[in-house]
Amino acid sequence: THCGFIPENLTDPAYPPVVEAIGEVARYCADRGLGFWFETGQETPVVLLRTIQRIGLGNFGINLDPANLLMYGKANPIDALDILGPYVRNIHVKDGLYPTDGDRLGREVPVGQGKVDFPRLIARLGEIGFDGDYIIEREIGGEQQIRDIQRTIADLHRWGVATG
C-alpha cells in the first residue's frame, strides 16, 4: 500500500499519529498472519526504513516500484536497495523519469525508455538474494499497453528473469 506521504521530519506534529496509524493496521495484519507491504514512491527509502524500525513488527515488506521512486523524485532505485533490500518482497517492472517541473510528478514511460537501469537493478537484486515476483505495471490502456507489456516480457527474459 501507499500510506500517503509519511512525514520526513521527525518533529513534524503529523509524524507520530501517522506512524501510530500504520502500526495499528500492521498489527491487525500481523495478528491474522498477514504481511504489511509498503509500495515505494511517496517517501524516501530512509523514511520507510525508519517507519519499519519504529513500529518493530516482523510482517513488514516492500513492493519496490522503481519508477515511482524516480517519478516522485525520492531516490535512485538501485541505491534504494542499500537501504530497503532486506525488506523487498516484489518488484513493479515500471519505468519513469524524474520530475522536471516542481509542480508535477515525473512521467511513466515504457520500460527501457526511462531512468531505471533494469539490468543493473536485476543484478543488484540477485546479489541481495531477492527471490520474489516481478510484476509488470504499465499505467495506460489499449493496444499500446499490450505491446509495451509484451516488449517488457521479452526484455525480462533477455535480462535473465524467468517469467510465466
At residue 164, the pLDDT reads: 65
At residue 119, the pLDDT reads: 97
Give the integer Cα–Cα distance in Å for 49 and 38. Answer: 10
Give SS3 for 67. Answer: helix
At residue 71, the pLDDT reads: 98
Residue 130's closest CA among 67, 53, 51, 66? Answer: 66
At residue 30, the pLDDT reads: 98
At residue 4, the pLDDT reads: 83
pTM as predicted: 0.93
Residue type, 132: G
Express each pLDDT in 4-48 by its tens digit: 889 999 999 999 999 999 999 999 999 999 999 999 999 999 999
Per-residue pLDDT of the chain (164 residues; tens, 9 = 90+): 999 889 999 999 999 999 999 999 999 999 999 999 999 999 999 999 999 999 999 999 999 999 999 999 999 999 999 999 999 999 999 999 999 999 999 999 999 999 999 999 999 999 999 999 999 999 999 999 999 999 999 999 999 998 76
